[in-house]
Chain A
Amino acid sequence: MSERKIRVLIAKPGLDGHDRGAKVVARALRDAGMEVIYTGIRQTPEMIAEAALQEDVDVVGLSILSGAHMTLCPRVVQLLAQQGMNDVVVLTGGIIPDEDVPALQAAGVRGIFGPGTNTFDIVSFIENQVPDRAGCSE
């Protein structure tokens, strides 16, 4: 019987193409033993929600540097909820001004990680948020 792995979708919604941050995070999560599905740049919220459903992920990580986070993040949360995926942990990273953080959290974004975040913090955040799957072999 194989071990239950935490599955994470890393996506870049919107129009900016700077994907280095997303790739660094993807790599760090893989090295922490998670299965990371990387969907690449220029994804619509609809594409992200659909991929999250098909891949049955526990976590969706959104990397946004374009400034469109106040539109895109709540939309992804909303679409996931419409699919009955309320339990999926939505995280965002990139350039998020401090004053936007409360509104994003209120919209259902559970973790917000700006530049300079240690990837270990993201790993442990996810492991705490997805406790029943983290490292336990059923």
Chain B
Amino acid sequence: MQSVRRLLSGDRRALARTISLIELAGPDAQKALAELYPHTGQAHVVGVTGAPGTGKSTLVNALAKSYRCRDVTVGIVAVDPSSPFSGGALLGDRIRMRDLAGDAGVFIRSMATRGSLGGLARATADVILVLDAAGFQRIVVETVGVGQAEVEIASAAHSVVVVASPGMGDEVQAIKAGVMEIADVFAVNKADREGADHAVMAIKMMQGLAPSPPSSPSSPSAPSERTGDGWQPPVIKTVATRGTGVDEVLQAVEAHAAYLHETHLYGGRERQRVVRELETILRTTLLARLRARLPEERFQDLVAQVAAREVDPYSAVEQLLRAGESL
């Protein structure tokens, strides 16, 4: 594919167009991905997530600036929700990223979640692959940390920064909802506001409630698969608008990256990511194939039967599977 070759040689327009193609999915996207894939696997992927209004975009902006001071190239994927009513989206993360304009070492792409169920994580993962193939050394993925899909995207990253801010009253509630476990670094942003210490304390208390890490966290054999990988997520106070604490966040992310490699956890995470990826693709592909084989009225007929309580949903699925096989 010509666009892929141009992308690999550093053509930014080809990169942007390829991302659009990948977002659409479909056969052309698959072809492009197949060509790109051998060039991926170089970038360290950093997920940044947290409740709305905590300052994620501003922190990403500051973090990218810090990376650029170290001559590290950065790709940014900023994900915002699509409206469930119109299907449109208002993507405003760039407003906070204006400092990065005019720098060829940065590429920012806004992404709407679009409609497809479960497709979001996959689309984001694919866009990350494109930026990875284009040679960006760090890829930062920003998602609103509410909802399973966003947590899923973030957890696909190698290192996850969870952003909280004081004075939101429920800062810990927000963190508790599934995001606590995926954090490798906590940033308490807007730390010049009242209540920052309280927020830090609250996060540390939550950490204290978790089962303690293995006694010798430095030993590479000790950490298990998922829980207690021995990494204690640092809690860092930041004021992203002024750049305060941002270098510490960067260092924590880099320390985490180094830790993953030293402890050989990196390979484990990659494997987990691939397992999830394959399962997702398999699921959507199988569903699409089955639906394509089954006459629509047959499906709708069963829907009506289940709705009328004539058939239970599990039996309905069994029927669909059998019908799909016999066709």
Contacts and interface: CB of A to CB of B under 8 A. Distances in A.
B86 A30 contact: yes
Of listed A32, A34, A55, residue having the most chain B CB within 10 A: A55
Contacts of A16: none
A47 B101 contact: yes
Given A31-B83, A38-B95, A40-B95, A56 B88 contact: no
B195 interface: no
Interface in A41-82: 43-44, 46-47, 50-51, 53-56
B90 A55 contact: no
Interface in B1-29: 12-13, 16-17, 19-20, 23-26
B178 interface: no
A45 to B, nearest CB: 11
B119 A2 contact: yes
A40 B110 CA distance: 14
B116 interface: yes
A110 interface: no
Interface in B92-149: 92, 94-95, 98, 101-102, 107-110, 112, 114-116, 119, 123
A5 B114 contact: yes
Of listed B19, B82, B91, B116, residue having the most chain A CB within 10 A: B91
Given A2-B25, A3-B87, A56 B115 contact: no
A128 B221 CA distance: 62
Interface residues of A, number: 34
Contact of A37 (B26, B82, B91, B116): B91
A2 B114 contact: yes
B contact patch SS: mixed
Given A5-B114, A39-B98, A56 B90 contact: no
Nearest to A7: B20
B89 interface: yes
Of listed A5, A29, A40, residue having the most chain B CB within 10 A: A5
Of listed B92, B102, B114, residue having the most chain A CB within 10 A: B92
Contact of A2 (B13, B91, B116): B116
B88 A29 contact: yes
Given A5-B87, A26-B90, A38-B90, A55 B23 contact: no
Contacts of B24: 1-2, 4, 138
Of listed B85, B101, B116, residue having the most chain A CB within 10 A: B101
Of listed B16, B17, B86, B94, residue having the most chain A CB within 10 A: B94
Nearest to A10: B90
A5 B25 CA distance: 13
A26 B83 CA distance: 13
A53 B13 contact: yes
A35 interface: yes
B123 A2 contact: yes
Given A30-B86, A33-B88, A50-B102, A2 B23 contact: yes
Given A2-B25, A37-B94, A40-B95, A84 B13 contact: yes
Nearest to B83: A30
Given A39-B95, A40-B98, A54 B116 contact: no
A56 B16 contact: yes
A97 to B, nearest CB: 29
A35 B88 contact: yes
Contact of A56 (B19, B83, B87, B94): B19
A46 B101 contact: yes
A29 B90 CA distance: 9
A118 interface: no
A83 interface: yes
Nearest to A43: B98
Lowest 7 A-B CB distances belong to which pairs? A40-B95, A30-B88, A56-B16, A47-B101, A33-B88, A33-B87, A56-B20
17 contacts: A2-B114, A3-B114, A4-B24, A5-B114, A26-B90, A30-B90, A31-B83, A32-B88, A33-B86, A34-B88, A39-B95, A39-B98, A51-B101, A53-B13, A54-B16, A54-B107, A54-B109
